[in-house]
């Protein structure tokens, strides 16, 4: 099985001379089984180049049947779709699976929303491929030989982590995710009444325990990966001013890699401000840190566009 990164950037595409090495496209990952069975995770701007690759590499062998797993529907995870070549080919069948909230738009409406005529000249309904939408929750299902399980992550909107098993190899994605924290303790007012104080104090205690349970649940879900692709948008210093934005730090990622005993840890969803030079420096520091924490056998690397990982 092969994993290929087509977009590794978080938040917004970041082209330019300072991002040539790691790439500026937003989230898109190709997973290819031994028999060329395909799974695509996320439809960020990296999807455009993947589409072109599929047309030249796979289409000659027959019509494209593509499955796209969306971690969530924020723009940096869907923005590549209007430029996805296979969507314009009548023989293609594209199935999106992803989470949406109980109150709000449906999955097809959200993806179609970015193709409203004010933003883009071609509507979703005008695309020539057959396009299906399946809303998914915390569940397990099979796509061909891939067995997929999902787990809710902590992000401002409903977001899923994926556990993909293929012939006993396991790939995990944990992004966009910020470790759960006790938000009740963070926001307690100092000038509240006794009555409010009492309810707030009890909420803080209850939340403390639940936060631990939820963080542990994600670690259990992610255990024993051959490759774990983990949110590492911020450094710990940067994180201090980004709490609540729904992302992790490099340190969070290393700790999660160690406690889940993953073999390869791909740091992913790089902040748009991160330059190639900084990532190279962080790569050295991160490997040292992981070694220092006792992770002798875990391979740690910052994901970059076109990087292939064989499992």
Partner 1 sequence: MPELIEKILRNIDEVPSLPISVSKILEVTKNPNASPNDLNKVISLDPILTGKVLKLVNSAYYSISTKVNSIVKAIILLGVNTIRNLALTTAVVPIVGTGVKKSWLVLNVNGFWKHSIGTGVTAKMIAKHAGIDKKVLEEYFIGGLLHDIGKVILDHALNEKYSDVIQKSAKENKSLIELEDELLDINHAKIGKLLAEKWDLSPELSEVINFHHNPKECNPDFKHLVYAVAVANIFCQQKKIGSSGNMSDISIDEEILSFLKLREEDLNEWEKTISEEINKASIFMNVQ
Rule CB under 8 A: which of 238-277 touch partner 1? none
CB of residue 99 vs partner 1: minimum separation in angstroms?
9
In this chain, which of 36, 109, 206, 288 binds partner 1, going by CB under 8 A? Answer: 206
In this chain, which of 52, 149, 214, 275 binds partner 1, going by CB under 8 A? Answer: 214
SS3 content of the chain, % helix, strand, coil (to 5): 35, 25, 40
Which residue, chain included where needed, has tokens 């738009």? 105
Among residues 125 and 190, whose Cβ is nearest to partner 1?
A: 190
Q: Respond yes or no on whether the N-terminal peptide bond of residue 153 is cis (omega within 30° of 0).
A: no
Rule CB under 8 A: which of 60-119 touch partner 1? 101-104
CA dihedral of 282, 284, 290, 291, whole degrees rounded to 10: -160
- Considering the rule CB under 8 A, would residue 180 count as an interface residue with partner 1? yes
- Considering the rule CB under 8 A, would residue 191 count as an interface residue with partner 1? no
Positions of E strands within 153-305: 160-166, 169-174, 227-231, 264-268, 299-302
Among residues 101 and 281, whose Cβ is nearest to partner 1?
A: 101
Stretch that binds partner 1, among 36-44, 122-130, 156-164, 278-286 (CB under 8 A): 156-164
- Considering the rule CB under 8 A, would residue 220 count as an interface residue with partner 1? no
Among residues 188 and 263, whose Cβ is nearest to partner 1?
A: 188
Separation CA 247–CA 112 (nearest Å): 26
Number of H helices and E strands in the chain, helices first, is: 7, 14
Extract the tokens encoding 240: 């201090």
Extract the tokens encoding 290: 């992981």
The contact set with partner 1 (CB under 8 A) reads 101-104, 137-139, 152, 154, 156-158, 180, 183-184, 187-189, 193-196, 199-200, 202-203, 205-207, 209-211, 214
């Amino acid at each position: 099985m092969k994993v290929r990164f087509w977009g590794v950037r978080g938040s917004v595409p970041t082209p330019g001379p300072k991002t040539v090495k790691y790439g500026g496209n937003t989230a898109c990952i190709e997973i290819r089984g031994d028999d060329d069975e395909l799974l695509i995770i996320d439809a960020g701007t990296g999807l455009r180049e993947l589409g072109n690759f599929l047309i030249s590499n796979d289409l000659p062998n027959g019509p494209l049947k593509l499955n796209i797993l969306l971690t969530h529907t924020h723009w940096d995870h869907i923005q590549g779709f209007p430029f996805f070549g296979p969507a314009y080919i009548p023989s293609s069948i594209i199935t999106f699976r992803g989470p949406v909230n109980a109150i709000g738009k449906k999955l097809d409406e959200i993806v179609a929303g970015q193709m409203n005529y004010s933003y883009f000249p071609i509507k979703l309904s005008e695309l020539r491929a057959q396009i299906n939408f399946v809303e998914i929750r915390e569940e397990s299902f099979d796509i061909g030989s891939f067995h997929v399980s999902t787990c809710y992550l902590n992000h401002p909107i409903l977001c899923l982590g994926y556990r993909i098993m293929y012939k006993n190899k396991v790939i995990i994605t944990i992004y966009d995710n910020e470790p759960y924290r006790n938000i009740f303790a963070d926001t307690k007012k100092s000038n509240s009444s006794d009555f409010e104080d009492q309810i707030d104090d009890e909420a803080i205690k209850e939340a403390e325990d639940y936060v631990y349970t939820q963080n542990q649940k994600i670690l259990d879900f992610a255990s024993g990966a051959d490759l774990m692709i983990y949110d590492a948008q911020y450094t710990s210093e940067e994180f201090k001013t980004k709490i609540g934005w729904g992302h992790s730090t490099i340190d969070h990622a290393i700790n999660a890699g160690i406690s889940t005993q993953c073999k390869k840890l791909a740091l992913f969803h790089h902040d748009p401000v991160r330059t190639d030079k900084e990532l190279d420096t962080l790569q050295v520091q991160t490997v040292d840190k992981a070694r220092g924490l006792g992770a002798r056998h875990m391979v740690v690397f910052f994901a970059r566009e076109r990087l292939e990982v064989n499992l």
